[in-house]
Amino acid sequence: MPVRLDRFAIDDGHHSPRLIPDEDASSAAGAARFRATCSCGRMPRHRPGSPEEALAAHRAHVDTRLGPSRGPVWLPLEARLVLLLVGCFALFASSLLGSTAVTRYLHATGAASLSIRASGVLVGFLAAASLMVAVRRYIAPTRS
């Protein structure tokens, strides 16, 4: 039975399987045995088997690399970007409001007030940047 590789083509094109005959296992089993490798180069070694088994091992590898949360369709990309921007804005705004509240609470004026607000801006930027880093794989599929 011919093995149709295109059936296993994966969406981002970074995980295409390749079947490699395994000579040791083949001679031991008295039949052709194959191992699958992945074009991403990160597929763990698996037990050599029939082409179907090798491709099943490859698919298991792809499933671990492309979990459902990273799938392309849980929301349109635009909606994900908007959500991310809203999240960043919320973090930034709350840091800013927080620093303003701290300024008021401490009755800080002048340079003290300025530095509290400045650190509020800084914290806001850092929080927004961390959010982007934390969720980037949920926003766009990683290109690794």
Interacting residues toward Zn ion by CB under 5 A: 15, 38, 40
Nearer CB in complex with Zn ion: 14/91: 14
Nearer CB in complex with Zn ion: 104/137: 137
Give the whole-angstrom CA distance, residue 98 versus residue 117. Answer: 9
Residue 16 Cβ vs Zn ion, minimum distance, rounded to whole Å = 8
AA letter at 43: M
Give the whole-angstrom CA distance, residue 28 versus residue 75. Answer: 49
Nearer CB in complex with Zn ion: 19/96: 19
Give the whole-angstrom CA distance, residue 11 versus residue 71. Answer: 9
Nearer CB in complex with Zn ion: 40/123: 40
Residue 110 Cβ vs Zn ion, minimum distance, rounded to whole Å = 58
**DSSP secondary structure of 5-54:** GGGG--TTSS--EEEEE-HHHHHHHTS--EEEEETTS-PPP---B-HHHH
Residue 49 Cβ vs Zn ion, minimum distance, rounded to whole Å = 18
Residue 77 Cβ vs Zn ion, minimum distance, rounded to whole Å = 23
